[in-house]
Amino acid sequence: MGDGRSVCGIAGIVGRRADTLTLRAMARTLTHRGPDDEGVWIDAEAGIGLAHRRLAILDLSPTGHQPMQSADGRWVISFNGEIYNHPALRRKLEERKQAPQGGWRGQSDTETLLQAIAAWGLEKALSEAVGMFALATWDRRERRLHLVRDRFGEKPLYYGWAGRDLLFGSELKALRAHPDFAAEIDRVALGHYAARTYVPAPRSIYRGVFKLPPGCILTIEPGALGSPPQEPPAEGGTQGGLRLQRYWSYRDVIE
C-alpha cells in the first residue's frame, strides 16, 4: 500500500509483454486490495513494467501515486505495506542532508523509503526500515529489478513465468491475467497440499511459480529470461539470472 494500514496490490512484468494493456489487466485483479487508484509505469526499451493498486490512508493526495520514481530518477518502486518508522527515517535523511532536492513531494512512507534507497542503497534502507511490506524496485542505472518481502512475510509476493516473461504479483490471480500464463498444476505442491492442507514456501500450486521467502531480496539480473528455471534459486545462490539473498534473519538476531 505504501500509505496506510491495510493492503494495496503490486504486479509487474519483465519481458516482451510489458505493455499497458497486460499490466492493467494484472492490476485490476487486485482492485479489492487497492480501490482508490491505479498506476502503471513502463520502460519499453528495458522490457520492464510495474503496476500498482492503491488504498490511500496516510497520504490521500496524488503525491502518493504509484509506481513512484525517486527524485534523482534512478529508482522506480511499486510498494505494498507500511513503514512504521518512516517519520524517523525522514528526520534522519534530513539531518544527513540527504532529503530530496527541492523538498518532499508528499507525506507517504513510500516516498520516504524510496529516498532512503536512493541515498543509502537497497540493503541499508531495508535494514533501517521497520514495517510490513512487499515491493518491487527497478534500478534504472544498473537495469536490475529487485523483489523484496518483509522480515516475517506479512505481505505476500509471488513470482514466476508466462512463456519467457517473468511476472510478479501480490496474488496468484494477477499472474493468471497474463495471456500466456499456463496455470499448470505443480504435482509436488499438490502432494504437499494433500498432506498439510497448505502449500509450503517457496512453492505455489502452479508449476514454475514461487513465493518469495520472508526477509529476502530476489534480484533479476539482465538477461535472466534466457531459460526460465523450474526451481527457485537457493538462498545465497544464483539460478537462471535470478539471485536470492537474505537481508534479515531471526536466527541471527537471536544469536
Cβ atoms 10, 147 nearer than 8 A: no
Q: Could you give the 3-state DSSP secondary structure of residue 152?
A: coil
Does a cis peptide bond (omega within 30 degrees of 0) precede residue 202?
A: yes
Q: Could you give the 3-state DSSP secondary structure of residue 62?
A: helix
CA dihedral 156, 162, 166, 167 (to 10 degrees): -30
Does a cis peptide bond (omega within 30 degrees of 0) precede residue 100?
A: no
Annotated catalytic residue within 1, 7, 8, 224: 8
Strand pairing partners for 50? 12, 41
Residue among 161, 156, 186 at smallest CA distance from 171:
156
Q: Which strand (E) or helix (H) includes residue 40?
A: strand 37-43
Residue among 136, 97, 96 at smallest CA distance from 113:
136
C-alpha cell belonging to residue 5: 494500514
Q: Is 8 a catalytic residue?
A: yes
The span from the CA of 110 to the CA of 1, in Å, is 8
Cβ atoms 211, 201 nearer than 8 A: yes
Residue numbers annotated as active site: 8
